[in-house]
């Protein structure tokens, strides 16, 4: 999203941070996670996908994950958050 820095609002950034925090919190202690967009992604669609089908977005490589946890744990936590909503 660096190519389109104003494509999403600060509220959207907070939502993304909340999703990332939830996923690492439910993956165990002492962890971190970064969620990155594929360079040519549409920011508006990406946010919708992250909120509605995060596991699919990561498996399709629309979103990239960086974490010190096992990626499967983080992806499962993201899927649980999505199914709880």
When pLDDT is averaged across residues 60-78 and rounded to a whole number, the result is: 90
Could you report the per-residue pLDDT of 11-31, keeping only the tens digit for each?
988 988 998 898 989 988 899
Q: Which residues make Cβ contacts (< 8 Å) with residue 11, sequence separation at least 6? A: none
> Phi, psi at residue 34, to the nearest 5°?
-120, 140
What's the pTM? 0.76
Asked if the model's pLDDT at residue 1 lies above 90, the reply is no
């Amino acid at each position: 999203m660096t190519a389109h820095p104003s494509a999403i609002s600060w509220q959207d950034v907070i939502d993304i941070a909340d999703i990332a925090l939830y996923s690492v919190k439910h993956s165990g202690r002492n962890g971190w996670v970064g969620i990155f967009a594929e360079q040519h992604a549409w920011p508006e669609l990406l946010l919708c996908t992250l909120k509605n089908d995060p596991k699919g977005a990561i498996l399709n490589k629309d979103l990239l994950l960086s974490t010190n946890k096992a990626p499967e744990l983080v992806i499962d936590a993201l899927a649980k958050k999505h199914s709880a909503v």
